Structure 1
Amino acid sequence: MEEFSESYRAHAASVRAYLRRLVPVQDLDDVLQVVFTEAWRSRQRFDPDRSMRAWLLGIAHKRGVDHLRARAAPTVSLDVVGDPPGHDGRIDDQALADRDQLRRALAELPAPQRQAIELAYYGDLSQREIAERLHVPLGTVKARTARGLHRLSALLAAA
């Protein structure tokens, strides 16, 4: 037990410094404790002809990576995220107005035309992929897209 205390006093600072690069500060002490607990439990595997510091840093690396993998990545719903700012850092009111006008015009299209356009422009699908997804002939997708874009152009020009 004395050897463990000695090892902790001698190497805790360097293990902590190493972990600081991997682990968030708020989790640092927890992971440090895991490292030294594992070192104590697996002390019979330590080769005294090798460096104690290097052995501990190897354990620290593995436990730090394990800790990062176990954490859930923070995510934010796209509904909560605001619109991106304009080129000058402010919200571009005209872009918001244009987008709103486009949404209203799309809503006025017949459903098959709107669906083909949305899959092409927002879904980034080719016309062949749209045809496969909707289980319709390729010519039908082309006709719906062309008619929808023509009608959309007229709706936007009238607005």
Structure 2
Amino acid sequence: MTGDLNVRLAKGEDAALADCFREHGSLVRSYLRRFVPPQEIEDLQQIVFAEVWRCCHRFDPGRSLPAWLIGIAHHRAVDHLRVRTLQTVPLDVVADPVGVDGRSHGDGLADRDEVQRALAELPAPQRQAIELAYYGELPQREIAEQLSVPLGTVKARTARGLHRLSDILMTGRPLGRHPRSASSTRARISPSQ
């Protein structure tokens, strides 16, 4: 079904966009939720799917449709955030924010940046399974459906990817940083971050 949708969308068939929205709309919404306020998600989702339709001729049906959609959603979210005018507050008025674990948010941002760099080193199938699970907030069963692979394959890719990610993060520490245990490294890539 998914492979058929990929081909139909790439050909620009009229019903393909509606099927794509029905099948992947929740994934796009979940992804956008990380970037934009709740009241703006629906409008931005419409912009994403309008671009999907406008650019469907550029989609390679042999590639992952969910990954392509997330890529478009990411670019539109960034564009959306760039044009927003935010109220500024002088830095001397604001105290340093502290995260739930007692560290400053700056440490958390540095950790997220490290995780992003480590994810880029993973093989594409493992990276895709982890990104859909943690950033797309999809259960493994839905990831298997999205990628048209068996559930066991998704579980294996995720487990191997997390193990490899842990190894990359443990060995790639800058000088002066204390290595953490593998369990705390895995905790740093939780979906809430």
TM-score range, shorter chain: 0.3 to 0.5
* Higher relative contact order structure (alpha carbons within 8 Å, sequence separation ≥ 6): 2
Q: Which structure would you say has the larger Rg?
A: 1
Normalised by the length of structure 2, the TM-score is: 0.39
